[in-house]
Amino acid sequence: MGDMLIRDIPEPLKREIEQAARKGGQSLSGKAIDLLRKGMVAEKEAKPEPGLSAWDAIRSAFVAENAIGDEFSEIMNEIEADRKRDFGHPVEDFE
């Protein structure tokens, strides 16, 4: 395991972490590690990594419903045609 030095922690924040550590029966380091881990998880959840394209997401929804076939092809062709038709058009002002 590695060590990390964090400088310039505001005194009120340090006291709050110390109090939470005491209340939870943890060391200051243990509580800080716990909070850092929770913060990393929250940050990852707030910023989902790029995943499926819209096309792939729609396809996976059809697969989940066991609806791959001619109907899927027709719908995806319509979506693609609409996308190409709308490409480059200015977005409407919704105000």
pLDDT tens for residues 57-76? Answer: 777 777 777 766 677 777 77
User: 72: Cβ–Cβ under 8 A, 6 or more apart, which residues?
Assistant: 59, 62
Q: Give me the residue spans of the domains in the chain.
A: 11-46, 54-86
pLDDT tens readout for residues 14-55: 999 999 999 999 999 999 999 999 988 888 776 655 677 777
- pLDDT grade for 89, boundaries at 50, 70 and 90: low
pLDDT at 28: 93
Rounded Cα–Cα distance for residues 27 and 6 (Å): 16
Residue 7 pLDDT level (bands cut at 50, 70, 90)? very high
Is the pTM higher than 0.75? The answer reads: no
Whose CA is closest to 55, among 67, 72, 35, 40? 72
